[in-house]
A and B are shown apart, each in its own frame.
Chain A
Amino acid sequence: MIFLNQTIQGVLLGGYYALIACGLSFMFGVMGVINLAHGSLAVLAAYALFVLADRFGVQPFLGLCLVAPAMALVGWALQRLVLERSARGGLLVPVLSTFGLSIVIDNLLFQGFGADTRSLAPYIGDFSYDSWTLSDEIAIGKLAALTLAVAIALLGGIETFLNRTQIGRAIRATAEDPDTVGLIGVNARRVNAIAAAIALATVAVAGAFLGMRATFDPYAGAAQLIFAFEASVIGGAGSLWGTLAGGIVLGVAQSLGALVNPQGFFIAGHFTFLAVLFARLFFGDLGQRVRTALTGRKRS
């Protein structure tokens, strides 16, 4: 029974990982950029929501209506000022520049807010700990369920957006070949900035749930980046539904690992990541195979 409970909690936790991985996966899969400041930006969004709630009494869900557009602007600026220029310097430069940026963000947050851990949980009332009780040993947290639902909605929404809308198709085409899209009247710079803005808006949502489900501190970004990265690699880099699966696999692995050893939570997650890499050595990309089998077509 405890095994079943841990699995259920792991799936719910996976919802959070999918949510935090969404923006990273989107940027990497569609734009081909790995943003090492991803985790730090999620923590920045969480602090923005904290300030709104603490100083101005704005409830975090409402605050998100302000912070998500603000983060979208940050995404726009990030693309124009950092990523665009870095990409011209080759494949390595974006990694270095975004890592430098993450150090700046982390330490500025530390300068502004100190080492105290914060949480958004006090500002959402009993929603942070309310749960549906299924049996004596199994309870499903309402916040955790909402996190999973939001992750599914967000990933599904982006997938639909990329496939069904004009601008979504332009984003994919630009990633494919920025020079050629220019010939058919697409402004590649503008499209990339929009894509980065969307990615950062999802980072704001992830930051909100990070703050509501647990505590965070100025240096919490590194761990969020690593979880997001693991979820996206386990799921098969670049696939949004794969990211959901990857998040859930990571969450379940961690929850079950915690049964073995107190440190097993993180160790199991990292081992799962390496095991997936190892499996790829022999079987190729598993996520790709599953998708091909399910849909009968290969995603471009």
Chain B
Amino acid sequence: MSARTAPAVERWTPESRIAIVAAAVIVAGLAIGPGIFSANAVDKLTTLFIYVILALMWNALVGFCGLVSIGQQAFFGLGAYAAIRLANWGVGVYPSLFLGALIVGALAWPLSILMLRLKGGEFAIGMWVVSELMHLLVNLDTLVRGETGTSLIELNAYASGTRRALTYWCALVAMTGLLAIVFALLRSPLGAAIQAIRDSEEAAESVGVRVMSAKRLVFTLAAFGAAMAGALWVATALTFQPQAYFSPLWTAYMIFMALVGGLGTFEGSILGAVIFFAIEAWFGAMGVWYLVGLGATALIFALLFPRGIWGWVEDRTSLRLLPIGYRLRLAGGARAKDAGADRNEAGG
């Protein structure tokens, strides 16, 4: 068999090389955003960045690791609370956004030992119980003043224009950083192990994957990301009402974004966040019917299109913009479906 006709295993393709360069250009362009865009556009983009973080983190947990949680609002709320608590103690207000998220991530590590004992649907609602408990415990802090809530008053030290730009940059850095971390993680051998766990825990264990430590890592990363999003949200909204931050509606948004964009696809998180952002802008004012529509869409996608829009694209085309798996290119240029990330890479 000559080398020319032998099938080749490849990861990068011309399209994906263009995509990664384009992504870098977009991020660089966004970095100078506050100097160009209107104040309104900067605020909107900050919100979009936070949605991308939420979608990405929920997708990492569910789409890649197979852990459905209805309680990620626990970390979202705690992240916001931690930022307020630290700022009140005199930590600089912007450092406290990141420091608070790190502390919440550190708390999630021991929590994971307990919660990961639960399987499937039990884990999902168990996390919701955790979120309710965190909500009640945060209410005990007199700084929060119960359901009345409080605000991140330390931000008043900045002029509104400076504050808007700083929050925007923090959100951009957090989003880009988390995207890079998840991208690198999923492409590593550990990422293959994580996806093998999703497909079959027993099979993964049988080929030597350390199932529990891999799950705990993803659980902690997802908690850190959700906390980061919560901290950024309080920096844009300024006010902190526990009821609003610990609401399961946040999880509903995450499910919507991940399901519609594409569960278990990397690009799907970004796509889902953009779609959700647009839908909220168009229909958000409809109130209750908007929420009915979100719930119904999630239901329909779960039943009929569980791989979401990007999953649909991947199944029908060979397009991979940000590849996390490998693919087999057969002789004559025809490409087989992904062998890598989708299935059976656990041994590698």
Contact = CB atoms under 8 A, between A and B. Distances in A.
B87 interface: no
Contacts of B125: 34, 36, 225-226, 229
Contacts of B66: 91-92
Q: Interface size for chain A: under 10, 10 to 19, 20 to 34, or 35 or more residues?
A: 35 or more
B136 interface: yes
Interface in A113-129: none
Nearest to B294: A103
A277 to B, nearest CB: 6
Given A36-B125, A89-B306, A270-B136, A277 B117 contact: yes
Nearest to B300: A100
A281 interface: yes
Given A36-B70, A95-B68, A103-B298, A280 B117 contact: yes
B126 interface: yes
Interface string B84-113: 000000000000000000000000000001
Interface stretch (B127-135, B222-230, B326-334, B336-344): B127-135
Contact of A95 (B121, B300, B303): B121
Q: Interface size for chain B: under 10, 10 to 19, 20 to 34, or 35 or more residues?
A: 35 or more
Interface stretch (A9-17, A104-112, A133-141): A104-112
A263 B114 contact: no
Interface of B: 62, 66, 68, 70, 113-115, 117-118, 120-122, 124-126, 128-130, 132-133, 136-137, 139-140, 248, 251-252, 255, 259, 288-289, 291-292, 294-300, 302-303, 306
B126 A233 contact: yes
A86 interface: yes
A199 to B, nearest CB: 14
Contact of A226 (B129, B252, B292, B297): B129
Nearest to B140: A263
A173 interface: no
Interface string A22-40: 0000001000011010000
Contacts of A65: none
A271 B120 CA distance: 21
A229 B129 contact: yes
Given A86-B302, A99-B124, A278-B114, 13 more contacts: A86-B303, A92-B66, A95-B120, A100-B296, A100-B299, A101-B299, A103-B292, A111-B289, A229-B128, A233-B126, A263-B140, A270-B136, A274-B133
